[in-house]
Amino acid sequence: MSNAVDQYLNLYGDYREAIGSHSAGVLNARRDDGAEALARAGRFHVRGDEGYEKTSVDEMFSPDFGVNVNRVNMPVDVGASFRCGVPNLSTLLAVVVNDRFVPSSTLIKNLPAGLTVCSLAEAAREMPRLVEKYYAKAACMSDASVALNTMLVQDGVFIHVARGTRLEKAVQLVDIFHSSTPLLAPRRVLVVAEEDSHISILKCDHTQGEDAACLSSEVIEIFAGRGARVEWYDIEESNASTSRRSQLFARQEEGSELHICVATLTNGVTRNDFHIDVAGGHASTRLSAMAIGSDRQHIDNSSVIRHAADYGSSDQLLKYVLDGNATGAFEGVIEVCHGARFVEAYQSNRNILASSGARMHAKPQLLIYNDDVKCSHGATTGQLDNNALFYMRTRGIPEAEARRMLMQAFMVDVIDTISLEPLRDRLRHMVDRRFAGVKAGCAECGSGCPD
């Protein structure tokens, strides 16, 4: 058994009661399963394992992180997070400080009918049957990171959209890391969109302060019922001392639509997994992601879209621009199960290496067990088009600016997949600022995000 696994199993052994006493029955009920699964796995994935060619999860979990078992209140400037608001986009805001859920007053007072957004532990206490029906049902426990999360998680976010509810406002979750000592935050999000409901969720990750190392162990489960539409937007703007191990598991029923868009702008080490199970017929999935890396940033996205029913469609677009000594990795699988007919699945991965120290690893994969399908993938790694650069310079645009414009144009495809127009504009602006190398837009904000 690896040292990393050992230290967390020991922690669980020592604080089992304390962890449970600050949580809820439904979450506690799966804790031992998590511990068993973690012990069975024996280790986290290391660099070189199939599917983990460039990222060592073990290295992410190895440091001696503290876990806020006793729910000590860590003061954080919650007000700062309000500045993360998207201009012209009115949202229902909630903040997650490390792993503690803090709803905004709007969320408490003006929650639209048919929508529940609350702490996962609270939901588990008040609606145990509903939470139990979905909790840890999509996440695959055989993965050591999921097992660890299930073993240690005490709270999280629960979002439920009742049948037929179509929300006009997006729900915004602002995740803030703040700790003076190295901290591991097991985060959990459970989204249940019942039949014919619509919801958009925007999640932003920030780290306040630069001092201590933080690790976010995040498990997100999304259930999209018949004809439901779920949009999940995730923007990461953390710092070099933050590691993020995020795993999203989604299950789609018949005729549902799932749209995921993830942008990694600043970070330390990030590994995002997307496991999407297209279980119902005529369901569609769109996954888009962008990663902008510089310095020693490490960004690894991995996706598995599994088509188990007829007439499914999926479209993936992932783009990376890597500068400095940044490393990027992408591994994507399209799986069409035996008997899933008339599936159309596409995957595209485009990468630009802007410096000699940048590295990119791509592994797009197709696993096809049926003949009546149309599936394709494409991956390219290269540099900016010299002709385009030359053309712009002949028109008097300085080289640095021309480069920035081209890189921004390169990312436009991903931004355009977002259906919320104000968010599109905001992200375009953020990407522009990111390429311009501008950080910490507002002096009074500790989040360090661009203005």
Tokens found for residue 349:
């991965």
Span interacting with another protein, options 24-32, 98-106, 347-355, 433-441, rule CB under 8 A: 347-355
Conformation bin of residue 390: beta by default, left when phi > 0, alpha when psi is -120 to 50: alpha
How far is Cα 328 from Cα 336, in angstroms, rounded to an integer?
27
Among 162, 165, 119, 91, smallest CA distance to 24 is for: 119
Span interacting with another protein, options 14-22, 179-187, 303-311, 356-364, rule CB under 8 A: 356-364
Site for another protein in 302-341 (CB under 8 A): 338-339, 341
Site for another protein in 97-136 (CB under 8 A): none
For position 355 contacting another protein by CB under 8 A, the verdict is yes
Compute the half-sphere exposure of residue 43: CA atoms within 13 Å on the CB side of its CA: 10
Q: Is the C-alpha dihedral spanning 277, 245, 423, 99 positive or negative?
A: positive
Nearer to another protein, 133 or 374 (CB): 374
| Cα separation values, 60 from 35, 63, 330, Å | 19, 7, 18
Cβ–Cβ under 8 Å, residues 188 and 153: yes
Span interacting with another protein, options 63-71, 295-303, 355-363, 429-437, rule CB under 8 A: 355-363
Interface residue with another protein among 367, 388, 400, 436 (CB under 8 A) is 367
Q: Is the C-alpha dihedral spanning 319, 333, 200, 132 positive or negative?
A: negative
Beta bridge partners of 158: 118, 190
DSSP 166: B
For position 353 contacting another protein by CB under 8 A, the verdict is yes
For position 48 contacting another protein by CB under 8 A, the verdict is no
Nearer to another protein, 229 or 404 (CB): 404
For position 377 contacting another protein by CB under 8 A, the verdict is yes
Interface residue with another protein among 2, 28, 381, 419 (CB under 8 A) is 381
For position 82 contacting another protein by CB under 8 A, the verdict is no
Q: How far is the CB of 165 from another protein (least distance, A)?
A: 38
For position 46 contacting another protein by CB under 8 A, the verdict is no
- In order, the DSSP letters of 212-224 are S-EEEEEEEEEEE
Q: What angle do CA 201, 207, 212 make, to 5 degrees?
A: 145
Interface residue with another protein among 47, 137, 369, 393 (CB under 8 A) is 369
For position 50 contacting another protein by CB under 8 A, the verdict is yes
Q: How far is the CB of 48 from another protein (least distance, A)?
A: 11
Q: How far is the CB of 138 from another protein (least distance, A)?
A: 24
Interface residue with another protein among 144, 299, 354, 445 (CB under 8 A) is 354
Q: How far is the CB of 70 from another protein (least distance, A)?
A: 44
Among 343, 395, 405, 401, smallest CA distance to 369 is for: 343
How far is Cα 352 from Cα 359, in angstroms, rounded to an integer?
10
For position 365 contacting another protein by CB under 8 A, the verdict is yes
Span interacting with another protein, options 74-82, 204-212, 367-375, 401-409, rule CB under 8 A: 367-375
Q: How far is the CB of 43 from another protein (least distance, A)?
A: 17
How far is Cα 141 from Cα 43, in angstroms, rounded to an integer?
13
For position 71 contacting another protein by CB under 8 A, the verdict is no
Q: Map tokens 């999935």 to a residue.
A: 285
For position 403 contacting another protein by CB under 8 A, the verdict is no
For position 51 contacting another protein by CB under 8 A, the verdict is no
Nearer to another protein, 282 or 341 (CB): 341
The residue type found at 4 is: A
For position 399 contacting another protein by CB under 8 A, the verdict is no
| Cα separation values, 199 from 63, 89, 217, Å | 37, 14, 24
C-alpha distance across the termini of the chain, in Å: 46
Binding residues (CB under 8 A) for another protein: these are 50, 53, 338-339, 341, 351, 353-356, 358-383
